[in-house]
Amino acid sequence: MSSVIRIDAVTKRFGSVAAVDGVSLDIFENEFIALLGASGCGKTTLLRIVAGLEHPDTGRIFIDGKDMTGEAPYARPVNMMFQSYALFPHMTVAGNVAFGLKQDGLSGAALEERVKDALVAVEMAGLGERKPHQLSGGQRQRVALARCLAKRPRVLLLDEPMAALDKHLRERTQLELMALRARLGITFVVVTHDQSEAMAMADRVAVMDGGRILQVDTPRNIYERPANARVAGFFGDINLWSAVVGDRPGTVRVPALGFEMPTRGLLPPSGTAVSVAVRPERIAMSRAPLSGAEHAVTGTVQETVYLGTASTCFVKTQAGGTVRVLAPHADGASAFNKGETVHLSWPSTAVTVLDA
Amino acid sequence: MSRPYFTETWRRRMVLALPWLWAALFFLLPLAFVVKISLAEARMSVPPYTDLLARVDGAVVGLNATLANYQLLFSDALYVKAYLSSLKIALVATAFTLLLGYPMAYAIARAPAARRTLLLVLVMLPFWTSFLVRIYAWMGLLRPTGIINTALQTLGLIDEPLAMLNTPGAVYLGIVYAYLPFMVLPLYARLEKLDPALLEAAADLGARPWRAFREVTLPLSLPGVLAGCLLVFIPVTGEFVIPDLLGGPDTLMIGKVLWNEFFSNRDWPMSAAVTVVLLIVLVAPIMLFQALQSRTEIRS
């Protein structure tokens, strides 16, 4: 597989702060990649560097194998959808879409055809004569998307595309973006702070923090095998405890839970400080003591948060630690109440041991 | 629940009454006086014009209005020429002010936020000094024995002093100098509000800087251009201090004519007629401006 975009050891500083700190990343043909991170992690700066709106202090940007580091934005075969959409307020919808094509010297029937195609692709065909201020937020987003698509870019860069949409519209737009990408065969790079959005849409996710990429992998691999505690904490809900590798082989001692936990896989030598992670949905919770479980913890329900399909329960263990448990409502069992004594257990395959 | 002391409608009317009262007292009433005087005849008396109402033994018997002043205004080539010349000077001066003011406003709007205030203060700094003093200062600079000529002669660049004062060029220079802030400020206000993401989007879509300026920045700043041009054009049309002090005997402007009619000839009715026509000439562009603005409909 050949990379469409190669980001090679790129660093960008604003004053003394490195917004992007020595990032390297290959983005492949037809891929949908998400740059995920909290605000200020450098993901938008990295996207703007690819677009040519910022210039890196060191490092290089290759597009289709060509060094584009010093090229202006208008010379790059990539297009960006801005978080604010940045529609031209004095132009109609059709005028906005035509703008980029006119820069390529298109005119007349050919121009009209391309504008129409782009508007049809985002289901805005009838609204070409409207002005941006006459559109809803969702419609504006479609225009911004059509304006990029009309240029038939090699790579489409999307900066927080869903940030201004409500939850319902967001899910629909996610599906539409994925369908569009399957149909057009364009490489998508999307910047988002929403891990569920990244998980739902992307083939690969690059988790960023402090200007660096912590892990790049498929959503499933990142969720199930996070590279470190920071990734684990950022990507979905998780229980993270500090622990020490136990004396018995294959176990770690978790002070917050007050017992030694068997794990799978290789462990560092005994006595090493590590972090232990367990996803809330892997933990079984019951009122009766569990027989035959690999290991169990007893605790008191401190708080429950009703989520519809499930409840999140925070259970305080006798050793003083708190365990987050996702208790499904599917089996029709009555929901757990505050103050109840419960027994928790999980298989050793649910335990991920990470560097401290 | 207690009833409000005044209903919503009445409160709104009371709030609106204030600007209306202001306009009536300080604009409409004086204007009515001016119109009245313009319909009278000049007379050696106090006040120096005839009563509009014909009276016999204190009782009103008829109207004494005459359009003679207006007839003279349009038949005498001097007045027509003065109006046309004023409009021409105002138009050219406005164009120069725009050409100079736009890049200034653009540069200030693009300057780092911390520097902008300083630059704006510098633009407005001349207002701290009296207008008249500043124009006198230009006389001092431009006169044959002034600083510029003396300096050039001392350096041996010229043998004879250049005739700079009392020329049309000096009038334009003075006007552009005095009215530049009125152009820069509305333009700056407009350009500063321009979302930088729009220019980034233009570049991203393939527009080179000049085309991005022409197709995005310029059209979006047009309301500022229009506001600035009117703020310069309207007062310059009636300007009389600058042409009087910096212009020559052949610089004809309606403001100067008005001054002469009023203070030299003591012809109040004629100067009132000149004023009324000038007002109409100036109100026309404002109406045009408002018609244009409601048509462009740029709302964010």
| Full-model pTM | 0.81
pLDDT of res. B299: 46
Q: What is the pLDDT of residues A40-90, one digit of tens each?
A: 899 999 999 999 999 999 999 999 999 999 999 999 999 999 999 999 999
Assess contact for A281 and A354: CB atoms under 8 A: no
Sign of the dihedral defined by the CA atoms of residues A225, A229, A234, A238, in that order: positive
- Closest partner residue to A86 among B195, B219, B299, by Cβ? B195
Rounded distance between C-alpha atoms, residue B248 and residue B251, angstroms: 5
What residues of chain A lie within 8 A of the CB of B216, using their CB? 88
Q: Which of B199, B205, B226 to mutate to test the interface with A (most CBs of A within 10 A)?
A: B205
Residues B36-62: b if buried by 16+ CB within 10 A, e if exposed: bbbbbbbeeeeeebbeeeeeeeeeeee
pLDDT of res. A292: 65
Strand partners, A353: A276
What residues of chain B lie within 8 A of the CB of A99, using their CB? 202, 205, 207, 215
What residues of chain B lie within 8 A of the CB of A81, using their CB? none
Sign of the dihedral defined by the CA atoms of residues A248, A254, A255, A258, in that order: negative
Query: Among B106, B85, B132, B101, which Cα is nearest to B278's?
Result: B85
For chain B, 300 residues long, the average pLDDT of each consecutive 10-residue run is 71 88 92 92 84 79 85 91 93 97 96 93 90 92 90 88 89 95 96 95 96 96 93 91 88 89 90 92 80 63
Whether the CB of A99 is below 8 Å from some CB of chain B: the reply is yes
pLDDT of res. A167: 84
Low-confidence ranges of chain A (pLDDT < 50): none
Domain boundaries along the sequence of chain B: 76-266
pLDDT of res. B232: 95
| Contact check, Cβ <8 Å, B201/A80 | yes
| Contact check, Cβ <8 Å, A88/B205 | no
How many other C-beta atoms lie within 10 A of the C-beta of residue B250? 9
Which residue do the tokens 């006389």 mark?
B139
Whether the CB of A105 is below 8 Å from some CB of chain B: the reply is no
Rounded distance between C-alpha atoms, residue A115 and residue A128, angstroms: 9
Assess contact for A97 and A147: CB atoms under 8 A: yes
Which residue do the tokens 């987003």 mark?
A141
How many other C-beta atoms lie within 10 A of the C-beta of residue B286? 11
Search chain A and give the residue with CA nearest B298: A90
Fold of B76-266: MetI-like fold (1.10.3720)
pLDDT of res. B300: 40
Rounded distance between C-alpha atoms, residue A308 and residue B83, angstroms: 79
| Contact check, Cβ <8 Å, B206/A103 | yes
pLDDT of res. B3: 63
What residues of chain B lie within 8 A of the CB of A51, using their CB? 204
